[in-house]
């Protein structure tokens, strides 16, 4: 990856992070740490991988991104707005009555959202159905699923993981945001999901582990996934830092993961992000 | 004598020949009559999802998003109860086009016992905004409903049983629609609303009631949601009393739907012949039908009572 491309992606991700802080701050909603951990993964996919047309969101031949990590939807919304699916002004109405951007993604309300969301553990199954329909229509559709690591505690994930291997489609790539946290604390202290690599491998998946904040590694993982044997789904286990980019969020000093940012902390977080890039301005 | 299960199997095959976007998913069903006709002719459009109803429903949603018409089939007990979250989140809230087919509903799982029988499925599905609920009463109507359900733009729940039942006359296709019903016997003494196998019991009851001087109007309410409200209300205006018969728990089914309609539009006495808030047990379906009081005898008894209280 060229340095210029990396810098471009880093700059986009920084702006997305700022929008996420503004959205969660203004709406007094939580899951900031989970939003910030997944930003780089979806920025990379939306800017460098997905074959999409923001001006034509329902373009039938587009690739699909199944965002299963529903509680982190501010990150998805900020990415979609910046990618041109809708006006950025919509972000400030997030979670308000009548808003396009609901508390959990609804594909019929929001351009760019490809699937219904809300209850977790359904991403891989939705992806399987999208791939089956493409197979019947002989379409070359690629489907990317983005899920959280806490979601791996849900049984339906493994029903669908088994189905994906039976389907034998190499066009499915699932990114697991391995940020290590869930609402009640650390994932491993609540209900052990490890060894995740062995679990996916045992279910017939190819697995690669990457740093979920390193665009060069994310690039390699997508190339690896799409150049595979063609009959195995791939899981990219992306190690991430919850709250990435904001010191108090990274250190877990915000209270519970569902705890919203107050006004002061929102301003402080924005200042920290702005200083990290040397870029000023860009207010809500 | 043939089942609604096999009627649907035939209808799905016919629909599959007309529309190449219909895809059959099932949770390892071995009941040949419902699965085999379609799957043998269209193996490339048939997916055995294994015994994973939750995954089957989510996969169906993915297929629907991909432009297909998924028809997902499993025991009604597991399809509606085990996968309720998936049905609600992935199909009902987004209003996706999909057909959910619950088999072995009511008491028809018989000897399999209480867990495999299902008398709460209609209550669960009716409670979801946007979900249509259909319960055919014979082979021809079940066959025809397969096509109707596949042509409907939103999610549809179709409830099928495996009891062998007679066909009810000749099907008037113009009556067969979502939100429709059909008057099978006309009368001004008592309105009997029924669905599924209970339509046959209602017809038997009507014959007995006519000997007692009560002319029953029997309505096959195959569309439980939306209800054929105008058909029912017109009948209630003539009769002034109503009995509802269904092979379902008394809570949440056709009985409550008709009672609510009557209460708000034309209050008349309404009695329900249904499972009285109990679970089933092992036994043949006909034994269970007797044991839980789902026969023409209960319909006759309740009809005589509401008739004596009728309001016209």
pTM attached to this predicted model: 0.93
Taking the C-alpha atoms of residue B238 and residue B240, their distance in angstroms, rounded to an integer, is: 6
Taking the C-alpha atoms of residue A41 and residue A19, their distance in angstroms, rounded to an integer, is: 16
A-chain CB neighbours of B65 within 8 Å are: 64, 107, 114-115, 126, 129-130, 133
B-chain CB neighbours of A131 within 8 Å are: 62
Mutate to test the interface with B, among A61, A116, A163 (most CBs of B within 10 A): A116
Compute how many other C-beta atoms are within 10 angstroms of the C-beta atom of residue A138: 6
**Which residue, among B144, B243, B124, B151, has the nearest Cα to B194 in the 3D structure?**
B243
Q: Nearest CB to B89: which of A114, A122, A128?
A: A122
- Please answer whether residues A124 and A174 qualify as being in contact, where contact means their C-beta atoms are separated by less than 8 angstroms: yes
Taking the C-alpha atoms of residue B12 and residue B37, their distance in angstroms, rounded to an integer, is: 8
Put simply, the answer to whether B23 touches A136 (Cβ < 8 Å) is: yes
DSSP B92: I
Taking the C-alpha atoms of residue A70 and residue A56, their distance in angstroms, rounded to an integer, is: 23
Write down the ipTM of this complex: 0.89
CB-based contacts of A184, cutoff 8 Å, min separation 6: A190, A256
B19 phi and psi angles, rounded to 5 deg: -130, 125
Put simply, the answer to whether A108 touches B61 (Cβ < 8 Å) is: no
Confirm whether B298 is a catalytic residue.
Answer: no
Mutate to test the interface with A, among B26, B28, B59, B85 (most CBs of A within 10 A): B59
Q: What are chain B's domains?
A: 4-159 (3.40.50.970), 179-307 (3.40.50.920)
List alpha helices for chain B, DSSP H.
Answer: 4-18, 32-41, 53-65, 76, 84-86, 121-126, 139-151, 198-211, 229-239, 254-265, 285-291, 296-308
Long-range interactions of B259-267: CB distance < 8 A, separation 24+: B261/B227, B261/B229, B261/B232, B261/B233, B262/B232, B262/B236, B265/B229, B265/B233, B266/B233, B266/B236, B266/B237, B267/B311
pLDDT, position A283: 41
Q: Which fold has domain A3-277?
A: Rossmann fold (3.40.50)
Q: Give the SS3 label for residue A174.
A: strand
Put simply, the answer to whether A119 touches B86 (Cβ < 8 Å) is: yes
- Class of residue A251 by CB neighbours under 10 A (exposed 0-12, middle 13-18, buried 19+): exposed
Q: Nearest CB to A133: which of B44, B49, B66?
A: B66
Taking the C-alpha atoms of residue A144 and residue A64, their distance in angstroms, rounded to an integer, is: 6
B-chain CB neighbours of A144 within 8 Å are: none
Segments of chain B with pLDDT less than 50: none
Distance from CA of B98 to the nearest CA of A (A): 12
Residue of A nearest to B52 (CA): A159
Q: Which two tokens stand for residue B112?
A: 């399999």
B-chain CB neighbours of A108 within 8 Å are: 94-95
Strand partners of residue B218: B185, B192
Residue of A nearest to B59 (CA): A129
Q: Which two tokens stand for residue A36?
A: 């910030």
Q: Which two tokens stand for residue A230?
A: 């063609």
Q: Nearest CB to B66: which of A122, A125, A130?
A: A130
pLDDT, position A278: 54
Compute how many other C-beta atoms are within 10 angstroms of the C-beta atom of residue A59: 12
- Please answer whether residues A143 and A183 qualify as being in contact, where contact means their C-beta atoms are separated by less than 8 angstroms: no
**Which residue, among A250, A266, A245, has the nearest Cα to A25 in the 3D structure?**
A266
Interface list for B 64-103 with A (CB within 8 A): 64-68, 70, 85-86, 88-90, 93-96
* Overall size of chain B counted in residues: 312
Q: Which of B10, B53, B201, B298 is catalytic?
A: B53
Q: Which residues of A touch B (CB under 8 A)?
A: 60, 64, 106-108, 114-119, 122, 125-134, 136-137, 141, 155-156, 159-160, 162-163, 166
pLDDT tens, per residue, chain A with 284 residues: 999 999 999 999 999 999 999 999 999 887 999 999 999 999 999 999 999 999 999 999 999 999 999 999 999 999 999 999 999 999 999 999 999 999 999 999 999 999 998 789 999 999 999 999 999 999 989 999 999 999 999 999 999 999 999 998 899 999 999 999 998 899 999 999 999 999 999 999 999 999 999 999 999 999 999 998 888 999 999 999 999 999 999 998 887 766 778 889 999 999 999 998 754 444 43
């Amino acid at each position: 990856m060229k340095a210029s491309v990396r810098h471009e992606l880093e700059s986009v991700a920084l702006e997305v992070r700022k929008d996420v802080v503004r959205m969660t701050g203004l709406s007094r909603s939580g899951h900031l740490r989970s939003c910030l951990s997944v930003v780089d993964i979806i920025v990379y996919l939306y800017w460098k991988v997905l074959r999409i047309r923001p001006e034509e969101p329902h373009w039938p031949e587009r690739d699909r991104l199944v965002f299963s990590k529903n509680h982190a939807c501010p990150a998805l919304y900020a990415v979609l707005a910046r990618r041109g699916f809708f006006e950025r002004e919509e972000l400030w109405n997030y979670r308000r009555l009548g808003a396009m951007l609901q508390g959990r993604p609804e594909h019929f309300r929001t351009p760019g959202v490809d699937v219904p969301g809300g209850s977790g553990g359904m991403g891989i199954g939705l992806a399987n159905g999208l791939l089956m329909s493409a197979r019947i229509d002989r379409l070359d559709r690629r489907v990317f699923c983005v899920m959280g690591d806490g979601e791996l505690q849900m049984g339906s994930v493994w029903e669908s993981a088994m189905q994906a291997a039976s389907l034998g489609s190499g066009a499915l790539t699932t990114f697991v945001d391995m940020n290590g946290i869930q609402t009640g604390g650390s994932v491993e202290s609540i209900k052990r999901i490890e060894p995740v690599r062995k679990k996916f491998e045992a279910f017939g998946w190819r697995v690669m582990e990457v740093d979920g904040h390193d665009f060069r590694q994310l690039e390699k993982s997508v190339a690896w996934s799409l150049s595979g044997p063609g009959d195995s789904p791939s899981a990219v286990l992306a190690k991430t830092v919850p709250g990435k980019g904001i010191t108090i969020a990274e250190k877990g000093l915000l209270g519970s993961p569902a705890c919203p940012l107050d006004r002061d902390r929102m301003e402080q977080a924005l200042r920290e992000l702005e200083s990290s890039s040397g870029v000023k301005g860009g207010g809500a | 004598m043939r089942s609604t299960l096999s009627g649907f199997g035939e209808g799905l095959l016919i629909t599959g020949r007309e529309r190449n976007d219909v895809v059959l998913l099932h949770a390892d069903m071995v009941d040949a009559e419902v699965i085999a006709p379609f799957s043998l002719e269209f193996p490339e459009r048939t997916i055995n999802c294994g015994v994973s109803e939750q995954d089957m429903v989510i996969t169906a949603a993915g297929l629907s998003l991909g432009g297909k018409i998924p028809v997902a089939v499993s025991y009604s007990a597991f399809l509606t109860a085990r996968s309720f979250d998936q049905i609600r989140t992935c199909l009902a809230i987004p209003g996706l086009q999909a057909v959910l087919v619950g088999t072995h509903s009511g008491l028809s799982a018989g000897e399999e016992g209480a867990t495999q029988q299902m008398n709460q499925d209609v209550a669960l599905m009716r409670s979801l905004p946007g979900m249509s609920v259909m319960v055919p009463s014979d082979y021809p109507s079940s066959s025809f409903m397969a096509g109707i359900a596949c042509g409907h733009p939103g999610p549809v729940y179709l409830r099928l049983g495996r009891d062998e039942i007679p066909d009810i006359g000749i099907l008037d296709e113009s009556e067969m629609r979502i939100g429709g019903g059909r008057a099978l016997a006309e009368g001004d003494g008592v309105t009997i609303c029924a669905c599924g196998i209970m339509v046959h019991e209602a017809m038997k009851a009507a014959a007995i009631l006519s000997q007692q001087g009560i002319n029953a109007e029997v309505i096959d309410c195959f569309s439980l949601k939306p209800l054929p409200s105008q058909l029912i209300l017109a009948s209630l205006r003539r009769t002034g009393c109503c009995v509802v018969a269904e092979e379902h728990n008394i809570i949440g089914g056709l009985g409550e739907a008709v009672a609510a309609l009557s209460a708000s539009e034309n209050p008349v006495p309404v009695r329900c012949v249904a499972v009285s808030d109990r679970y089933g047990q092992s036994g043949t379906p006909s034994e269970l039908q007797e044991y839980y009081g789902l026969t023409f005898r209960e319909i006759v008894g309740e009809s005589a009572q509401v008739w004596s209280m009728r309001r016209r």
